[in-house]
A and B are shown apart, each in its own frame.
Chain A
């Protein structure tokens, strides 16, 4: 990653995942499995509730998939809120109160364990902030700003990020340009006064550039991307080959 000596910008805006906070080699599918495993263990240990990790994983993937597809039917510039996904998952899994909260806590715990701080970028941003540049984070993510602040605070306690904008909080995404319009308005900045840094070609480069922002792309190593894809493929094969679990239920031949 080649960073300029100085940003020459009034505001430096940074993407969060795979930019400020780096994901490891695990695919999203694997991460969801890890979350499901942790949630299942905690539900059993703390509440005596038995839930198959595969059922939790399926609930997570089904809820996310259909939430985003519903969103695309009516407001494709917006985003889904994680709290709503947890609510739907809890209904499907028959959980309420503290047991339902485990779904949220397991997600954050696994995210924390699989993320690491992008130390060179954070050091550069700290220098920028020290010289008077405002540093903000802008993320297309279903989490609210408070959750991102929690992750940033845990993984890089002295980070220089002054404000966090998430697509879930503002119901507007980077990839459609709507979130950048919010950022420009809230920051009171002209597009040319902002340097945006991120990894995604569309959301972090093409769209902000079309809106007049300056951009800088950080690219994750090819070998890492290849490992993630291999990991995702392996997860798909394992999932396809695994027989669905049998449940006993009155009135069903599956009993």
Chain B
């Protein structure tokens, strides 16, 4: 249980964790249990809770099972992975999945920056051609080039990749179906590992699945969003409010630990250790004090075996509270849900602020990670009218998308027979 916080904003965040996030995450845990309960190849599978958000999901899931008495069938492990680490597995040679991921992350950036991120080295002395903006075909050609700097880059990537693969072997113990449990959204890690380590079968069990990148989705058949599955916010589907402020979910679940970038050989016979595994890392997965995650965990800690049948109804109420706070925030919620700067990741150290730096008013709102919050922060009194306009715009957009989806369905040849 979290201690009573002195800071009013922290107290509100803690209460939001208990009343909104906790019930929603309890439902996620129940659905995760159902998935492992019915997995046909349970004896050949491992639940791999992915760093960093997955580490807190693992903690929540373990507490959920302990409180409710539901039996686990599939072994679980903490997988030290990130998109950067997964991308390294799929570079020999680079496939379409990894190139599109790199293209999106490093759009307009020099290819030397991509190389530095992948190798996590600044001493590669790459030729001038690497300074050109990222282009998929050109990058693949440069990476395969028969020259010393490219060879050094390939060597650095291969060395890190080999260590990661040994870490995967240690986590799975030879089981061939890896179920990646993570926060979501697009499921890049599933796609990259499926391409990079095809000897294993990979599936994604995410909190949310969303193709917000509008990229091809060959991995979506194997990637489930257990709590949210939608490519955009739909006003009449309460749970899609998570997509209005996704960083809130990420921030609540990501412990204060670095993203996984490097592996080092362990002393002795143990598997390689990731840079995340600093001294006392496991203790840092626990809540550091009152706040979003502490409140959510406190809710799960109140569950009893005979509460299971109430979990879906409580989750529905939790989603309503979540939407109220995120889509229709007041000044108090804006303060309660203020986040620390978010990391850009993918091997880079830059941060992104929750609320964009002052500039043009519209740009400041548009470029913020939480537009509704930014609007209410900028216009505490008149902002409410703006929220109505934003909601109406989303409703109109969703109706338009659903109408065109219906038209596409109607245009397809009808199949006979009832489902």
Q: Is B284 an interface residue (CB 8 A)?
A: no
Residue of B nearest to A247 (CB): B310
Q: Are B35 and A69 in contact (CB under 8 A)?
A: yes
Other-chain residue from A66, A69, A91 in contact with B308 (beta carbon distance below 8 A): A91
Q: Is B313 an interface residue (CB 8 A)?
A: yes
Q: Are A199 and B310 in contact (CB under 8 A)?
A: no
Q: In the complex, what distance in Å separates the CA atom of A252 from the CA atom of B306?
A: 14
Residue of A nearest to B317 (CB): A244
Q: In the complex, what distance in Å separates the CA atom of A205 from the CA atom of B45?
A: 35
Residue of A198, A205, A240, A244 with most chain B CB atoms under a 10 A cut-off = A244
Other-chain residue from B18, B31, B203, B305 in contact with A73 (beta carbon distance below 8 A): B203
**Residues on A with beta carbons closer than 8 Å to the beta carbon of B30:** 62, 92
Q: In the complex, what distance in Å separates the CA atom of A48 from the CA atom of B36?
A: 32
**Residues on A with beta carbons closer than 8 Å to the beta carbon of B416:** 201, 205, 217, 219
Q: In the complex, what distance in Å separates the CA atom of A225 from the CA atom of B299?
A: 44
Known: A225-B418, A249-B302. A94 touches B309 (CB 8 A): yes
Residue of A nearest to B301 (CB): A251
Q: In the complex, what distance in Å separates the CA atom of A74 from the CA atom of B368?
A: 40
Would you mind naming 27 contact pairs between A and B with Cβ atoms under 8 Å apart? A66-B34, A66-B226, A70-B34, A70-B35, A70-B39, A73-B35, A73-B177, A74-B40, A74-B177, A75-B40, A75-B41, A88-B34, A91-B70, A94-B305, A94-B309, A198-B417, A200-B418, A202-B415, A202-B417, A205-B416, A220-B418, A244-B312, A246-B313, A247-B314, A249-B302, A249-B310, A253-B18
How far does the Cβ of B135 sit from chain A's closest Cβ, in whole Å?
A: 36
Q: Is B257 an interface residue (CB 8 A)?
A: no
Other-chain residue from A51, A66, A74, A219 in contact with B417 (beta carbon distance below 8 A): A219
**Residues on B with beta carbons closer than 8 Å to the beta carbon of A55:** 309-310, 312-313
**Residues on B with beta carbons closer than 8 Å to the beta carbon of A246:** 313, 317
**B 298-326 contacts with A by CB, 8 A:** 299, 302, 305-314, 316-317
Q: Is A29 an interface residue (CB 8 A)?
A: no
Q: In the complex, what distance in Å separates the CA atom of A244 from the CA atom of B238?
A: 13
**B 395-419 contacts with A by CB, 8 A:** 415-419
How far does the Cβ of A178 sit from chain B's closest Cβ, in whole Å?
A: 13
Q: Are A244 and B316 in contact (CB under 8 A)?
A: yes
**Residues on B with beta carbons closer than 8 Å to the beta carbon of A198:** 417
Q: In the complex, what distance in Å separates the CA atom of A252 from the CA atom of B417?
A: 47
Q: Is A100 an interface residue (CB 8 A)?
A: no
In the A-B complex, the 3 residue pairs with the closest CB atoms: A244-B316, A251-B302, A66-B34
Known: A54-B313, A92-B30, A250-B302. A73 touches B39 (CB 8 A): yes
